[in-house]
Structure 1
Amino acid sequence: MTSFSRQDVQRILQISSRQLQGWEKAGLISPRETYTFQDLGQLRTLRSLREEDVSAASIRHSITAMQAVAGLSNPLQQASLVRSGSRLAFRVDGAMMDPIRRQLMFDFERIENDATVRTSVRPLRRVDQASRGIQELFVTAVQAEESGDKHRAISIYEEMLRLDPDYAPGYINLGTIHFHLKQYTRAEELYRTATRKDPGYVLAFFDLGNVLDELDRPDESIAAYQRAVELAPRYADAHYNLALAFERKGEKRAALRHWQAYARLDKRGPWAEHARGQIRKLLESEKLTIAARAEKYIAPKGGGVALQLVPFIG
């Protein structure tokens, strides 16, 4: 397989070393020294989005949401990313999805390019004014959050939730602001509300697990992560956090299962390497434990070389 160095990537895509490092620090791509042809496609998509002034936070949030909702390990490679107004959507399996709102979207571009489908499409129901207002508030709040004006973002999210108390993504975003402000109790309340408003919202359970972990409530944290994995078995980050949580509790075999699951889903990058390292350590530790507990053996009569295990009573 053809590989490209960092210098090759910078030359081909006409980006600077600082840009590439910035994407890595923002969590949009994993740091590495060589790239595949598929990686180039992913990097081209990031470059285009950044050129259109789509913020790194918006891209990262959309990718994380798509991983949770659709179970994709790398949405930028496994789906087509589409700019939809101020938000990002993905085309996958013949449908277009807004992962943050967890909604399927009407794909006008595909319809316009498909005469067969175009002849059979019925007009969409007009979006009511209240729904449009909620969407506009959500976009405004996200923009305020990305600009660093957290207090204004909080105010807008709270107004939005007064208008639509069932809008789960609003609770998630508001909870995340409080989480970063280290207001963990308030963040927990908001995440729990999101899980009640939408019991199938994977990110709500994942974020709830994170804040419970910060509050040093490991059993509750593990339960939240496990629910996220039940809803989206290919959600790599939930497996990673579960592995860490089980390790902290000393439950090595449970941790091993989730490190292995993460390693299957994320095969490259620093977190994948860390997962593989933990797998090696746990397997080696398990071997030593088995050896320490092994029953004493006694050679059989007749001088044979076979070993026979017998219970050892110390």
Structure 2
Amino acid sequence: MTRNVTRYSRQDVLRILQISPRQLHGWERAGLIPVLETYGFPEMSQLRTLRELQVLRMSPASIRNSVQAMQAVSGISNPLQESAVVRTGARLAFRHSGTMFDPIRRQLLFDFESTARPHTVTVSMLPPARTAGTRERELQNLFLQAVQAEEQGRKQVAMGCYNSILALDPAYTAALINLGTLHYHQKQYSRAEELYRQATEADASYVLAFFDLGNVLDELQRPDESIDAYKRAIKLAPAYADAHYNLALAYERKGERRRALAHWQVYVRLDKGGPWADHARGQIRKLLSREKISIAHRSPDFCRQPHKTCSRLELVPTVRVPA
């Protein structure tokens, strides 16, 4: 009997995985994911891995180089799906068949299976095991059930699984983030904020937790706190382009032109193509043009008080980049 396999549209993928069309196009251009109209569970898992690698400041070119090297030396057709991915410095290593291998250097690596290992971050669909005990396996099974339910559109089932995880381990950051995002999309912003804050407290180095916290604080119209959260994300990952984008928008809403300009400029250095880069360049042109006009019309009194502005900059609100 043929089993029906759930497929997801491009819009479903963007919504479920919290990625932008720009990110998806970038991975397609780099050859890291095929251009598809619908996606299955393997492709969804691969996209989750790519999203985490981007937050860890791995460029598409660097990921592609490691993937191609692994394909050449191992014969594995899709290393991002068929093996676990480990960041080692600026490259990727792959855990496959009980060994860990750096394909660019063609070296076997010691595999300590420890999240405390310095300068190495394990990236996979599930959080790495902290212990080998029954409780940890139960948490991972629940997390897998939650992810599958979420991708099948069974949100209440997914939320139930995430809540069960948090009842066992209140500091399980991946569950906190995913549950917070489900509440976020249901416009339950206060609950989403609570969960994102718990994630930042559980892991102060979790970049996505601060980024998502910034998004929900923006929805709650608390711009100063939102800006602080985006700045924390950028401090942890200075090349996190989407955080610079959203921070620039937040500064624009407050009328802080020069601060917005600085982050637009960083953004276009990090993202050189696509509609978001085009928008950022447009904002840079507008801000520079208005700044020149402002300088030309300053009075002597204004020049003696550079911290004041002659008028408030009004800009059309723009939808920020999703998490």
TM-score in same-fold range (> 0.5): yes
Q: Indicate yes or no: 2:175 matched with 1:186.
A: no
Deviation sequence 1:25-76 (CA, Å, 0-9, x none): 83575399xx99x965425x3359x7764254x45443333222x1235375
Q: Indicate yes or no: 2:41 matched with 1:65.
A: no
Shift in Å, 1:209: 0.3
Superposed CA RMSD in Å reads 3.8
Instruction: Name the count of aligned residue pairs.
Output: 260
Work out the CA distance in 2 between the residues paired with 1:216 and 1:128: 43
Work out the CA distance in 2 between the residues paired with 1:41 and 1:122: 29
Is this contact kept in 2: 1:260–1:279, CA < 8 A? yes
The one-letter code matched in structure 2 to 1:221 is S
Work out the CA distance in 2 between the residues paired with 1:187 and 1:289: 41
Aligned to 2:171: 166
Aligned to 1:42: 31
SS of aligned partner of 2:198: helix
Aligned to 2:278: 273
Aligned to 2:223: 218
Work out the CA distance in 1 between the residues paired with 2:241 and 2:51: 10
Is this contact kept in 2: 1:31–1:269, CA < 8 A? no
Which of these residues, 80, 83, 101, is aligned with residue 82 of structure 1? 80
Deviation sequence 1:146-198 (CA, Å, 0-9, x none): 11111100000000111122211110000000000000000000000000000
Percentage identity across paired residues of the two chains: 46
Is this contact kept in 2: 1:31–1:270, CA < 8 A? no
Is this contact kept in 1: 2:214–2:227, CA < 8 A? yes
Work out the CA distance in 2 between the residues paired with 1:117 and 1:73: 22
Unaligned 5+ runs, structure 2:
1-6, 68-78, 115-130, 302-323
Instruction: From the superposition, tell whether residues 77 and 253 of structure 1 become closer, same or farther in structure 2 (CA, over 3 Å).
Output: farther
Unaligned 5+ runs, structure 1:
1-18, 98-104, 297-314
Work out the CA distance in 1 between the residues paired with 2:248 and 2:174: 26
Aligned to 1:140: 145
Aligned to 1:196: 201
Instruction: From the superposition, tell whether residues 79 and 183 of structure 1 become closer, same or farther in structure 2 (CA, over 3 Å).
Output: farther
Shift in Å, 1:240: 0.3
Work out the CA distance in 2 between the residues paired with 1:112 and 1:239: 32
Aligned to 1:250: 255
Is this contact kept in 1: 2:57–2:240, CA < 8 A? yes
Q: Which has the larger radius of gyration?
A: 1
Is this contact kept in 2: 1:73–1:265, CA < 8 A? no
Aligned to 1:6: none
